[in-house]
Amino acid sequence: TQGLDGLAERCAQYKKDGAVFAKWRCVLKISDSNPSKLAITENANVLARIGSMHVIYGLIHLCQTFCVLQVLAAVYKAMSDHHVYLEGSLLKPNMVTPGHSCPTKYSPEEVAMASVTAMRRTVPPAVPGICFLSGGQSEEEASVHLNAINNCPLAKPWVLTFSFGRALQASALRAWRGHKENEKTATEQFVKRAEVNSLACQGKYSGGDNYGEAGHRIFGSCHAY
């Protein structure tokens, strides 16, 4: 996108051209002093304004934020203030996982409980779906955590699914390496990860043999969105 200026006209044209959904991303860095209250408020209002514009022009809104209780609460307060049609939106948050430098390792069940608890405290049941990001986890970690989330015993009024990028593509890209003769193998790897995550969305994935393998993590501290 090119920002809020002139967005109404562009949304009208995008809809005319056949677009049916749009995504707006706000990424907040976490530290002892960040995100500030001002950063949370401003980003929440930007998300809400773009969501309001999408509703006017009939586009499904995907709202992507950092998974922090304070941030999500501010986002949905702003969504309410701007009269966003929540039933026509999806949330794309990170799972609640320990920071990359955290020495403590938590089980998939603990990650699931923390993630679902955060969603239950902030995301209205009117939102039809939550599409979790992989957030630098390995492919296997992301799938195992998604499976645990769907098996979490807490009540979950939304569809809980995935919107993985790196954690859906990494093994396929490693297999491909840019060579045409590897395309079949790369495709097989991609289909395998898609099938695994489909099972995880149903809480039926029984894999996890490579869970926690540091060698295949795809976290980048300076990853550019």
* 1 within a domain of the structure (yes/no): no
* 129 within a domain of the structure (yes/no): yes
Query: Integer distance in angstroms from the first to the last C-alpha of the chain?
Result: 13
pLDDT at 54: 77
**Following DSSP, what letter does each residue of 198-225 receive, concatenated?**
HHHHTT-----TTTT-GGG----TT---
* pLDDT over threshold 70, residue 188: yes
Q: Which domain holds residue 24?
A: 7-224
pLDDT-based confidence at residue 215 (cuts at 50, 70, 90): very low
pLDDT at 186: 96
pLDDT-based confidence at residue 49 (cuts at 50, 70, 90): confident
- Within 82-129, residue ranges assigned H as helices are 108-122
As a whole number, mean pLDDT of residues 206-211 equals: 70
CA distances from 122 to 65, 95, 118, 127, 192 (A): 13, 14, 6, 11, 33
Tell me which amino acid residue 212 is: G
CB neighbours of 160 closer than 8 A, spacing ≥ 6? 116, 129, 130, 132, 146, 149, 150, 201
89 phi/psi in degrees, rounded to 5: -125, 160
pLDDT at 39: 87
* 172 within a domain of the structure (yes/no): yes
Q: What is the pLDDT of residues 83-102, one digit of tens each?
A: 999 999 999 999 988 877 77
**What whole-number percentage of the chain has pLDDT above 70?**
87
Q: What is the pLDDT of residues 128-173, one digit of tens each?
A: 999 999 988 999 999 999 999 999 999 999 999 999 988 999 999 9
Over the chain, what is the mean pLDDT?
Answer: 86
* 2 within a domain of the structure (yes/no): no
129 phi/psi in degrees, rounded to 5: -150, 150
pLDDT at 37: 86
- Which CATH number does the domain housing residue 21 bear? 3.20.20.70
Q: What domain count does the chain have?
A: 1
